[in-house]
Chain A
Amino acid sequence: MPDAPIPEAPPPDAVTAERFRAVVMPHLDAAYGFARYLTRDPVQAQDVAQEAMLRALRYFYAFRGEEARPWLLRIVRNTWSDFRSRKGANDQPLDVVEDRAADGPDPEQSALDGDRRRHVVAALAALPSEAREILVLREIEDFSYKHIASVLDLPVGTVMSRLARAREKLAAELRGRLGRRGHGLSDM
């Protein structure tokens, strides 16, 4: 038969749903958190995370017991990149971002911990997405280079050099914010 249809993903059934609950749902917070850092916007983060979870559910039949969190975060990242191209949206202007970033993910706690945490959140938000995403995966998700490579679809060697550049950029941002050019960051 010519033009045999490409096999479609089977619709998820009750067994898949239960397995999804056990394997993927524990990473919902991480999916949202990653979307939050990618989008720098809580509302958009929720849209991206929701769409990513539904995609994950649709593709879960093909999940073969690799580690669930990197698998899910890769879907989050792809979803976000589709959102951006669909809407033709670029990153938001920085002043908007900084206003929001200054609130931090948790304003109350940020206030308690003083300025430093706010500066860190704002500096991170000001970085280009390429630097931001790799720092979040490494430091907040505590991913190994191998897992970062699988999320970002990069060779491990590139992960290392990109991470080094990202740290340099973050250090420069922080120094700029603190007016401490040439001083060590560790006394912050």
Chain B
Amino acid sequence: MDCPTCEAMIDAYVDGELSATESAAFEAALPGCPDCRRRLEDARAMSGFLRDLPAERAPDLLRAKIERELRAISSASKPQARPVLGQNMRWMAMAASLVLAVSIGWVGGTFTGRPGGGDDELVSTYLRVASSDHPVDVASTDRHTVKPWFAGRIDYSPPVRDLTSSGFPLEGGRLDVVAGRKVSVLVYRHNQHRVALSLWPATASGNTPPKVVERNGFVMAEWRHDGFEMHAVSDLGVSEMASFAAALDRATGEDR
């Protein structure tokens, strides 16, 4: 093999694009061609350098925007039963990460029911959890760490439950502001996805069943349980959100 031939094969050889016969011929020619050997080493070194670069990850906000578009399409062109859970889990495992965040907040007398903009604020809370590098201020799966963290930061003590056994492990907590009041937010994870929930002491008594709605491409749940108003926002499907609310209520019941 002459040198120009051997030189022309270097890249295809490095890239594994030569047939076995061609590779063997190239390898046999190499010892007689120091120049090509050096170029082969360079090509390999560069390949190694580039492969060593850290993998890029799409920003959560970008992911949330696309997910939102997909959900808008799904809700516009249904109604039709959502796939059974098993199927859901399969695509969810393949799909991008979702975030479910739950905020628990004390809003006192100023926050009765839902003032205008309340949904937007709750969605913003969710997006801060979904798109931030630091989705939580206190990161812990241990509720005995998360609950005391709120002490002295807000003027009430939110019930904190880990829901790992129901598939929603606690990720931590953070503070946010809803309707001008500081509120506590609990962040849960579901598979690769995060979920955000806001909750504050109720002014009315009695429990209400979770009301789960899809709004602006996000799934929101609100209900009253055990003296607290719960407001959850997430990228999860309606049925997962319902399971989440049920799991939370169950955990509160078991705890007393």
Give the B-binding residues of A (Cβ under 8 A).
Answer: 11-14, 16-18, 20-22, 25-26, 28-33, 36, 46, 49-50, 53-54, 57, 104-106, 109-110, 113, 116-117, 120-121, 124, 135-136, 138-140, 142, 144-145, 160, 163-164, 167, 170-171, 174, 184-186, 188
Contacts and interface: CB of A to CB of B under 8 A. Distances in A.
Determine the main DSSP class of B at the interface with A.
helix
A14 B77 contact: yes
B215 to A, nearest CB: 17
B49 A188 contact: yes
B58 A49 contact: yes
Interface residues of B, number: 44
A40 B178 CA distance: 37
Contact of B44 (A16, A138, A163, A186): A186
A124 B57 contact: no
B115 to A, nearest CB: 32
Contacts, number: 136
A22 B74 contact: no
A105 B46 CA distance: 18
A117 B52 contact: yes
Contact of B45 (A20, A109, A117, A185): A185
Which 3 pairs between the two chains have the least Cβ-Cβ distance?
Answer: A33-B56, A139-B50, A32-B58
A13 B79 CA distance: 11
Contacts of B50: 120, 124, 135-136, 139-140
Contact of B51 (A14, A53, A139): A139
Interface of B: 8, 10-12, 15, 17, 38, 41-47, 49-59, 61-63, 65-66, 69-71, 73-74, 77-78, 80, 83, 90-91, 94-96
Contacts of A185: 41-42, 45-46, 49
Determine the main DSSP class of A at the interface with B.
helix
Contacts of B12: 145, 160
A104 B50 CA distance: 12
Choose among B8, B49, B94, B96 the residue with the greatest number of A CB atoms under 10 Å from its CB. B49
A120 B55 CA distance: 14
B70 A140 contact: no
A172 B58 CA distance: 31
Contacts of A145: 12, 15, 17
A25 to B, nearest CB: 4
A157 to B, nearest CB: 10
Given A28-B58, A160-B17, A186-B41, A17 B46 contact: no
